[in-house]
């Protein structure tokens, strides 16, 4: 299936950013979906003939870092999902947000973790229904967008980026593009192409490594990814420094495609909330950024701030 629908969204996202001056635009789903319960996600078809019950469930984790590393991290959890659902579960190592979104839209992806910024696109255009998020032991959750540079770059504050290059990750990323674009415009009156040059690294780890290795003078990144990379000794903490830190945003949202059979949906949800983190590879990896369990969430409530950022950026979703 062609990516024309996604290209339209990214073209809108890349427009000049202005602060929102009016009420938030209504969030709407693609015409293929209905939302009779008003929760802003696609309803499961009531006709059993339109419901999907695959022999193998395909799972993908958001492509923020090396997929090979995360295939091992998620292996124990996916075995647990197999036990709970009675299905075979296969890890799908997506290389980009676009590939992940297109796979679910085309029916090739059933369960996934979509990053913060691409959640609204997945919900609107691919029928994604998020229900879980990683959280700390005290139920707190989230991460911050940071703008980082390297010592000796000559950049001590955000305004020093003027005339230089700032690395983003991808147009679908909240902390890697949407939030910093809106915040730079509203707080510092700085816009890409006018006050600084924008580069796109593709992933948060690419941006972080790019700054640490002095390939980029500055980058907008998710500090949860930065924390895990420092903990794994991918970079040293003193290779980068933070010059801006945002409010807290929700982190990766986990969910499933809307047209799975209702009883299978419930089993998948149960797999997330019954998983024992103790001694797991999941805990070993994600405890580096503070996460210790899955908590229930809703797209309508927890992604409200992200929809407002999209509105401030002038983003609308044409899924055709």
119-155 b/e (C-beta count within 10 Å ≥ 16 → b): bbbbbbbbbbbbbbbbbeeeeebbbbbbbbbbeebeb
Closest CA to 65 of 252, 215, 237: 252
With a threshold of 0.85, does the pTM exceed it? Answer: no
User: pLDDT by residue for the chain (320 residues), tens digit each?
Assistant: 334 445 444 433 333 333 333 344 478 999 999 999 999 999 999 999 999 999 999 999 988 567 778 899 999 999 999 999 999 999 999 888 889 999 999 999 999 999 998 999 999 999 999 999 999 999 999 989 999 999 999 999 999 999 999 999 998 888 999 899 988 988 899 999 999 999 999 999 999 999 999 999 999 999 989 999 999 999 999 999 999 998 889 999 999 999 999 999 999 999 999 999 999 999 999 998 899 999 999 999 999 988 888 887 787 777 86
- CA dist 203 and 279 (Å) reads 28
- Backbone CA torsion sign across 284, 288, 293, 299: negative
For the chain, which domains are there?
4-140+251-312 (3.40.190.10), 143-249 (3.40.190.10)
């Amino acid at each position: 299936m062609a990516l024309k629908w996604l290209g339209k969204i990214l073209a809108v996202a890349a427009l000049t950013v202005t602060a929102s001056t009016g009420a938030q635009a209504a969030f709407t789903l693609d015409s293929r979906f209905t939302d009779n319960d008003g929760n802003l996600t696609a309803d499961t078809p009531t006709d059993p003939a339109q419901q999907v019950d695959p022999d193998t469930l395909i799972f993908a984790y958001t492509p923020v870092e090396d997929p090979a590393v995360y295939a091992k991290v998620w292996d124990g959890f996916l075995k647990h999902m197999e036990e709970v659902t009675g299905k075979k579960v296969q890890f799908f190592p997506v290389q980009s947000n676009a590939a992940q979104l297109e796979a679910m839209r085309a029916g090739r992806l059933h369960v996934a973790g979509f990053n913060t910024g691409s959640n609204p696109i997945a919900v609107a255009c691919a029928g994604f229904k998020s229900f879980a998020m990683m959280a700390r032991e005290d139920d707190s959750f989230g991460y911050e967008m940071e703008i980082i540079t390297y010592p000796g770059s000559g950049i001590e504050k955000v305004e020093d980026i003027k005339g230089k290059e700032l690395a983003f990750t991808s147009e679908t990323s909240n902390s890697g593009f949407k939030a910093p674009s809106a915040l730079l415009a509203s707080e510092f009156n700085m816009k890409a192409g006018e006050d600084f040059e924008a580069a796109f690294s593709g992933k948060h780890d690419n941006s972080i490594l790019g700054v640490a290795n002095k390939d980029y003078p500055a980058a907008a990144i998710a500090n949860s990814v930065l924390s895990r990379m420092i903990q794994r000794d991918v970079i040293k903490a003193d290779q980068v420094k933070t010059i801006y830190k945002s409010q807290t945003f929700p982190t990766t949202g986990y969910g499933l495609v809307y047209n799975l059979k209702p009883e299978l949906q419930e089993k998948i949800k149960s797999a997330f909330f019954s998983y024992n983190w103790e001694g797991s590879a999941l805990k070993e990896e994600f405890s580096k950024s503070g996460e210790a369990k899955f908590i229930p969430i809703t797209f309508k409530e927890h992604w409200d701030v992200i929809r407002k950022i999209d509105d401030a950026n002038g983003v609308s979703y044409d899924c055709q």
